[in-house]
Chain A
Amino acid sequence: MNRYIIPSLLCLLLFSCKTEEISPVGEAPKNISGSWKILKATRNGTDITNAFDFTQFRVKFDSTGNYTIVNRVPFLVNVNGTYVLDDPAYPFRITFTPQGGSAVATPFNYITTAGVRQLNLTFVPGCELNVYIYTLEKDN
């Protein structure tokens, strides 16, 4: 008799477990809507933030995929247009398409510094060897 009890108990234990399904927590889409200013600028690794007046420049992203440039400086694009992230939740690239122009893409480097979101954009507006990185922060 006992030889049936132990296997039965084991089967009971095995099948009495219930798998609890945990719904994955979705990553929130990255929302860059708003007005961004230049916090820091480097050219070929040299900090030029204070060497040139970047203070009036703004790039404004709206929630419908349009961007507007205010007070131009050398940048990825010089004309207003549209932008898109390659993945809303886990973006690796941002692409700007100026009106009447070709699309320009750059890595989407969206970091948090001291609790504030910053956007690092790397681009080459002139000679290929001259690489610029702008660190942008929301205007307010």
Chain B
Amino acid sequence: MLSALLLIGIVFSFCHIKISKVTIPASAKVGDVVPIQLDIDESCNSGGSDRLILGVLMPKGWKGTQNMTATYKSSKGDGSFTMVPLTTLAAHGDGKNWPDYMRATFGIAGNLIDDMEWVVMQSDNPFTYANGDKITGSIYINLKVGADDNPTVVKLAYVVANTTNGFTSDTYFDEGYGPTAEYYNQYIGDCFTVTGGSGDLVDFCNPQLTTVSPPKSLDNDLVTITFDSNVIETELSGSDEVYLCATGTTSDGQTITICEQTSRTLMKGVGSGRYEITLWPRSFFGVSDSQTVTNMTYYITDKTGTKQVGYGNTTAPFTYKFKCG
């Protein structure tokens, strides 16, 4: 009998949790401190005490661990959040810390460029709850956006959980929460726009004709440019071969254009209408040891070189700056 009660206690522990509403401005400027409010509902099916976990998915370049703070107000008391040390292992996380556990569980929440991170905080004080408690509260996040000085379009995502149950769920039907009630909840926001900044637009949200991987690199990295012909109909739709036509600018002001339709610029088909080329910018543009390639503009062309596709399927070239921030 005792073991059965213990088992029930283990299976049905803590509180089902939901992010019922997220309030955030539609846009902001680089350097703004953006207020974000998460309204939380919890329904508890046992008694206990625990801390709340808060994770926010954002571009790595925003340096969230330095630029995010959060407080909370709830029917169980008020307080603040602190960053969870990377050395803290997550409950049920198979040896992962909380950011890695969130990454493994939720990925990058539908964003299209893999240059994002989960920034994870926990409430300063554990709060005590009883079986049948219905807890309401709000989390108030202040996030300084655009530390990398790049205009950005991104889907921010939020996860709430507790330090005991991690990202587990049960089959217990919780009225008002449905049969899939869980001990955690994820909320993926709409596309959020950050304007201003001196860098290139980084659009995590909308499919792009071309993407560059790694998103941040220098001219001594190996850089992969991918052209996705399925995004929209272009002049190159139906072409069996596509090529890169690129112009590099060096730190001493020289411009070097490589716009030939040869094996040097051929983009390999990788399936599903996508083409890739991986290049070493220093070698591709043939710069001397004393020169640095600082930025690059480029088009995608057909094998005659006469049909060109540029940024947003216009005559303007795609642009890329070689920088790490």
In the bound complex, what is the Cα–Cα distance between A72 and B268 (angstroms)?
Answer: 22
A130 interfacial contact with B, CB 8 Å? yes
A43 engages B214 (CB within 8 Å)? yes
B234 interfacial contact with A, CB 8 Å? no
A65 interfacial contact with B, CB 8 Å? no
A125-B221, A126-B218, A127-B221 in contact; A74/B324 too (CB < 8 A)?
no
Residue of B nearest to A125 (CB): B220
B219 engages A48 (CB within 8 Å)? no
In the bound complex, what is the Cα–Cα distance between A101 and B218 (angstroms)?
Answer: 20
A74-B222, A125-B220 in contact; A51/B214 too (CB < 8 A)?
no
B278 engages A51 (CB within 8 Å)? yes
B217 interfacial contact with A, CB 8 Å? yes
B324 engages A52 (CB within 8 Å)? no
Tell me which residues across on chain A come within 8 A of B216, comparing CB atoms. Answer: 127, 129-130
Tell me which residues across on chain B come within 8 A of A125, comparing CB atoms. Answer: 218, 220-221
B276 interfacial contact with A, CB 8 Å? yes
B313 interfacial contact with A, CB 8 Å? no
B224 interfacial contact with A, CB 8 Å? yes
Q: Which of A38-60 contact B (CB under 8 A)?
A: 43-44, 48, 51-52
1/0 per residue B192-226: CB within 8 Å of A?
00000000000000000000001011111110100
1/0 per residue B219-259: CB within 8 Å of A?
11110100000000000000000000000000000000000
B278 engages A48 (CB within 8 Å)? yes
Chain B CB count within 10 A is highest, among A51, A78, A130, for A130
A48-B278, A51-B278, A129-B324 in contact; A74/B220 too (CB < 8 A)?
yes
The B interface, classified by DSSP as helix, strand, loop or mixed, is loop
In the bound complex, what is the Cα–Cα distance between A36 and B278 (angstroms)?
Answer: 23
Tell me which residues across on chain B come within 8 A of A74, comparing CB atoms. Answer: 220-222, 280
In the bound complex, what is the Cα–Cα distance between A74 and B222 (angstroms)?
Answer: 7
A-B contact count (CB 8 A): 50
In the bound complex, what is the Cα–Cα distance between A64 and B217 (angstroms)?
Answer: 36
A43-B222, A52-B222, A132-B222 in contact; A127/B217 too (CB < 8 A)?
yes
Tell me which residues across on chain A come within 8 A of B217, comparing CB atoms. Answer: 126-127, 130
Q: Which of B245-286 contact A (CB under 8 A)?
A: 268, 276, 278-280, 283
Residue of A nearest to B221 (CB): A126
Tell me which residues across on chain B come within 8 A of A126, comparing CB atoms. Answer: 217-221, 324
A73 interfacial contact with B, CB 8 Å? yes
Tell me which residues across on chain B come within 8 A of A127, comparing CB atoms. Answer: 214, 216-218, 221, 324
Number of chain B interface residues as a range: 10 to 19
Tell me which residues across on chain A come within 8 A of B324, comparing CB atoms. Answer: 126-129
In the bound complex, what is the Cα–Cα distance between A130 and B268 (angstroms)?
Answer: 23
Tell me which residues across on chain A come within 8 A of B219, comparing CB atoms. Answer: 126
Tell me which residues across on chain A come within 8 A of B224, comparing CB atoms. Answer: 48, 51
In the bound complex, what is the Cα–Cα distance between A78 and B268 (angstroms)?
Answer: 27
Query: What's the least CB distance linking B316 to chain A, in Å?
Result: 26
Residue of B nearest to A131 (CB): B214
1/0 per residue B49-61: CB within 8 Å of A?
0000000000010
A73 engages B221 (CB within 8 Å)? no
Tell me which residues across on chain B come within 8 A of A129, comparing CB atoms. Answer: 60, 214, 216, 324
Query: What's the least CB distance linking B258 to chain A, in Å?
Result: 16
Tell me which residues across on chain A come within 8 A of B218, comparing CB atoms. Answer: 125-127
Apart from A74-B280, A130-B214, what 16 extra A-B contacts exist at CB < 8 Å?
A43-B221, A44-B214, A48-B278, A51-B222, A51-B268, A52-B222, A52-B280, A73-B280, A74-B222, A126-B217, A126-B218, A126-B324, A127-B221, A129-B214, A129-B324, A130-B216
Q: Could you list some 28 contacts between A and B, CB below 8 A?
A: A43-B221, A43-B222, A48-B224, A48-B278, A51-B224, A51-B268, A73-B283, A74-B220, A74-B222, A74-B280, A78-B289, A125-B218, A125-B221, A126-B217, A126-B218, A126-B219, A126-B220, A126-B324, A127-B214, A127-B216, A127-B218, A127-B221, A127-B324, A129-B214, A129-B216, A129-B324, A130-B216, A132-B222
Which residues in A have some Cβ–Cβ distance to B below 8 Å? 43-44, 48, 51-52, 72-74, 78, 125-130, 132
Which residues in B have some Cβ–Cβ distance to A below 8 Å? 60, 214, 216-222, 224, 268, 276, 278-280, 283, 289, 324
Top-4 shortest CB links A-B: A126-B221, A126-B218, A127-B324, A51-B278
